[in-house]
Amino acid sequence: MNQEKWEKAVAFHGHSCPGLAIGFRAVEAAEKALGVSLFQGTDEEVVCVAENEACGIDAIMYLTDCTPGKGNFLFRLRGKQAFSFFIRDGKSVRVVLKPKSGEMTREEWQEELLTKPVGELFEVKKPHYEVPERARIFENQLCATCGESTMELMLRIEEGKTLCLDCVKSYDRGF
Ligand SMILES: [Zn+2]
Ligand SMILES: [Zn+2]
């Protein structure tokens, strides 16, 4: 593992932790399986889908081209330490962290995550979902109550008025 890159990822994240190590090594596992670097310096050629929103995603954002702002880092929250990477040329991989081998301290766990060969840490699978479509641009409209400009996709109609999700009355009958 690349010590200098790790230290930079730690600086980006703000602290060193096992979660960050999971994301850091997940990138390595995916790159090994795909045979390409996930940092290509391009906007949307690589897409990451993270199945959690824990510390590890910061390492992935740091090491790859994928960021939420560019629209190529998406969440599919399933509470799993699993990450899929799609290359727009058609290659894809889903790496899933294997269960811990036993009880260990946080420090021991982090050490194991940083030093074990990636093949022992991750299962390499195929994503069971398709690559998400490219980020689309939507029109905006003003919310009739707060007056704030809101993406059309996020607006609701209530009593004939167009409202943002913060202004619409919730209607939830337990289903
Ligand atoms: Zn952390
Ligand atoms: Zn509003």
Q: Rounded to the nearest whole angstrom, what is the distance from the C-alpha of residue 140 to the centroid of ligand 2?
A: 13
| Distance from C-alpha of 75 to C-alpha of 47, rounded to nearest angstrom | 11
Which ligand has the minimum distance to the alpha carbon of residue 166? 2
Q: Rounded to the nearest whole angstrom, what is the distance from the C-alpha of residue 69 to the centroid of ligand 1?
A: 21
Q: Rounded to the nearest whole angstrom, what is the distance from the C-alpha of residue 172 to the centroid of ligand 2?
A: 19
Q: Rounded to the nearest whole angstrom, what is the distance from the C-alpha of residue 125 to the centroid of ligand 1?
A: 25
Q: Rounded to the nearest whole angstrom, what is the distance from the C-alpha of residue 171 to the centroid of ligand 2?
A: 16
What are the mean pLDDT values of the chain's consecutive 10-residue runs (175 residues total)?
A: 92 97 98 90 82 97 92 94 92 96 93 96 96 86 97 94 93 75
Sign of the Cα pseudo-torsion (127, 91, 81, 115, in order) = positive
pLDDT, position 58: 97
Q: Rounded to the nearest whole angstrom, what is the distance from the C-alpha of residue 105 to the centroid of ligand 1?
A: 16
Q: Which of 132, 166, 123 is nearest to 147 (CA)?
A: 166
pLDDT, position 42: 66
- Pull the structure tokens for residue 133: 């479509």
Q: Is residue 166 part of a domain?
A: yes
35 and 101 in a single domain? The answer is: yes
84 and 159 in a single domain? The answer is: no
Q: Is residue 132 part of a domain?
A: no
pLDDT, position 71: 87
48 and 83 in a single domain? The answer is: yes
Q: Is residue 131 part of a domain?
A: no
pLDDT, position 134: 82
Q: Is residue 65 part of a domain?
A: yes
Q: Rounded to the nearest whole angstrom, what is the distance from the C-alpha of residue 12 to the centroid of ligand 2?
A: 34
The alpha helices in the chain, defined as continuous H runs, are 3-13, 18-34, 56-63, 106-115, 118-121
Instruction: Please give the tally of structural domains in the chain.
Output: 2
Q: What CATH number does residue 92 fall under? A: 3.30.1330.130
| Distance from C-alpha of 9 to C-alpha of 48, rounded to nearest angstrom | 17
Question: 3-class SS at 154?
Answer: helix
Q: Rounded to the nearest whole angstrom, what is the distance from the C-alpha of residue 169 to the centroid of ligand 2?
A: 11
Q: Is residue 69 part of a domain?
A: yes
47 and 118 in a single domain? The answer is: yes
Residue located via tokens 């390492």 = 59
Rounded (5°) CA angle 44-53-168: 90
- Pull the structure tokens for residue 58: 């910061």
Q: Is residue 36 part of a domain?
A: yes
Structural domain boundaries enclosing 12: 3-125
Q: Number of H helices and number of E strands within the chain?
A: 5, 9
Q: Rounded to the nearest whole angstrom, what is the distance from the C-alpha of residue 13 to the centroid of ligand 1?
A: 7
121 and 141 in a single domain? The answer is: no
Q: Rounded to the nearest whole angstrom, what is the distance from the C-alpha of residue 25 to the centroid of ligand 2?
A: 42
Q: Rounded to the nearest whole angstrom, what is the distance from the C-alpha of residue 78 to the centroid of ligand 2?
A: 30
| Distance from C-alpha of 43 to C-alpha of 26, rounded to nearest angstrom | 21
Q: Answer for the pair 122, 26: CB distance below 8 angstroms, yes or no.
A: yes
Q: What CATH number does residue 159 fall under? A: 3.30.60
| Distance from C-alpha of 22 to C-alpha of 54, rounded to nearest angstrom | 10
Q: Rounded to the nearest whole angstrom, what is the distance from the C-alpha of residue 103 to the centroid of ligand 2?
A: 49
The span from the first CA to the last CA of the chain, in angstroms, equals 48
98 and 165 in a single domain? The answer is: no
